[in-house]
Chains A and B, each alone.
Chain A
């Protein structure tokens, strides 16, 4: 083969190869003019070499050739030399990201570092990850919508089949209550228990229908404060009965929002009743509304190839906060409170559908909810409407 080195005992003498000066310069240029950053760091942490492309990086570190690199880098160099295994590291510099492979040269006790600018790749990866997350979210919303559709069909079928016999039982019990003249006290008690059971079953069916109702929202521009005030008037009887003091701190300056008023009333009535039920011996129910402004720096698009423009977006939200002085959410159930049919009021009229209905309605409005125990007792519920 033409380029194959030939070893021959017959050759009398092998002339030692000495590179010419221009060859040496070319070799040096090969590294120094490499557009990718290359560095060489000695065992003790001394920066032995940096090519032109890596100068912005070492200048960002505040170093020059001959300086000691930072303690963290020094330790990493030692580790790589001891292990003899290549290591990959990422370096951030002036808004760009470089990926370096650290190659230990044990004999010479230094580590060569060969880098490449991976900023665009990383940004593309971040965009891809965000797009994937959005896709997953959209997919789970689709699955959820499909599930709700099935539940809706099932629920309305069940509702009809169950409500008819319930109606018969209810009317029958009414007749019996009026017409049985028994001296046995148990008869009246049992009839009352049966009536309560019918009401509970009917409540569950209604709740199930509310939960699954896939009807379109009747969206109009509304004042959230008015919706809250009307919801409070709907639970006035319960709050008075349970000796709950209602405190309102509603910001008059919040803008109108696009909501379905009656569905939103349903949300607040459910939340208020939850708070009242958590304070059986009375307490304080505080309702607050306010406008929250968040300044968020966000990348909104590509201004020119490879250059992304970032602008500051002011995100505004209307917050409704409900704070009670009740017993709080018991330990270990915080992640279950939104599950359908999960209730802590088993046997006390709880159907376990209240909060799942609340979440459902808020999701339809693209609004968020957070329910957390408050320091010092009670629960803080935060409902967030994006503007």
Chain B
């Protein structure tokens, strides 16, 4: 069975790499990490992931800007995006939902929770 391709966009590289290891260890995922927000759209176009885990606060570009760019590009708009962030404000959650993100997870998070949420989002995706 083909593995689910995940793209993590997060400037916290250590975190992203451990998440990559933990998710890949489950045997169901193949994970790529992009630490620069400005590279996210390009990476999404090239890698064509099944789902993107996107941080919000990043030094070069805001996660919401990346989300907007992804959702307004024909090549990436269908890729589900889950915000994976330390920001827990309601206003951020609302903004993410308004910009059509498919989920919102607040760090820290266990791999089990992460995996379940990814699977639920992908199940909802129109085939």
Binding site for B on A (CB under 8 A): 156, 159-160, 163-164, 166-172, 174-175, 178-179, 198, 202, 206, 209, 215
Contacts between the two chains (Cβ within 8 Å), count: 56
| Separation of A161 and B110 alpha carbons in the complex (Å) | 19
Instruction: Tell me if B25 and A167 are in contact (CB < 8 A).
Output: no
- Please name the residue on chain B nearest to A162 by beta carbon: B86
**B87 A171 Cβ-Cβ under 8 A:** no
Contact A171 B88 (CB under 8 A): no
A156 touches B107 (CB 8 A): no
CB atoms of B108 and A215 under 8 A apart: no
- A178 partner residues in chain B, CB cutoff 8 A: 25
CB atoms of A163 and B22 under 8 A apart: no
Top 6 closest pairs, chain A to chain B, by CB: A163-B86, A167-B107, A167-B108, A170-B108, A171-B18, A168-B15
**A206: which B residues are within 8 A, CB to CB?**
88
Q: Return B26 CB to nearest CB of chain A, in Å.
A: 10
Give the residue of A166, A174, A198, A209 whose beta carbon is less than 8 angstroms from that of B22: A174
Is B57's CB within 8 Å of the partner chain A?
A: yes
In the complex, the answer to whether A175 meets B86 with C-beta atoms within 8 Å is no
A174 close to B110 (CB less than 8 A) = yes
Select B88's contact among A169, A170, A209, beta carbons within 8 Å. Answer: A209
Please give me the residue from chain B that is nearest to A156 by CB atom: B89
Contacting residues, chain A, for B12 (C-beta < 8 A): 164, 167-168
Q: Are B88 and A164 in contact (CB under 8 A)?
A: no
Task: Check B19 for interface membership: any CB of A closer than 8 A.
Answer: yes
Verify B86–A202 contact, CB threshold 8 A.
Answer: no
Q: Please report the total number of B residues contacting A with Cβ < 8 Å.
A: 21
- Knowing A163-B107, A167-B107, A198-B108 touch, does A172 contact B18 (C-beta < 8 A)? yes
Across the interface, do B25 and A164 meet the contact criterion of CB distance under 8 Å? Answer: no
Q: Enumerate chain B interface residues (CB-CB to A < 8 A).
A: 12, 14-15, 18-19, 21-22, 25, 57, 86-91, 106-111
Identify the interface centre among A159, A164, A175, A215: most chain B CB within 10 Å of its CB: A164
Q: Which residues in B have their C-beta under 8 angstroms from that of A202?
A: 108
A-B contact pairs, 5 of them (CB 8 A): A156-B89, A168-B12, A170-B108, A171-B111, A178-B25
A164-B107, A198-B108, A215-B91 given; A171·B86 CB < 8 A = no
Say whether, besides A171-B19, A175-B21, A160 and B108 are in contact (CB < 8 Å): no
Bound together, the chains give a CA A156 to CA B90 distance in angstroms of 12
Seed contacts A166-B108, A167-B12, A175-B25; 13 additional CB < 8 Å A-B pairs: A163-B106, A163-B107, A167-B109, A168-B15, A170-B108, A171-B19, A171-B22, A171-B108, A175-B21, A175-B22, A202-B108, A215-B90, A215-B91
Question: Closest approach, in angstroms, between the C-beta of B56 and any C-beta of chain A?
Answer: 9
- CB pair B90–A163 under 8 Å, yes or no, is no
CB distance from B18 to the nearest CB of A (A): 4
| Residues of A with C-beta under 8 A to B18 | 168, 171-172, 175
Across the interface, which residues of A come within 8 angstroms of B22, CB to CB?
171, 174-175
Whether the Cβ atoms of B15 and A167 lie closer than 8 Å is yes
Assess the B21–A164 pair: CB atoms within 8 A.
no
Least CB separation from A172: chain B residue: B18
- Least distance between A221 CB and chain B CB atoms (Å): 21
Residue A160 contacts which of B14, B86, B110 (CB distance < 8 angstroms)? B86
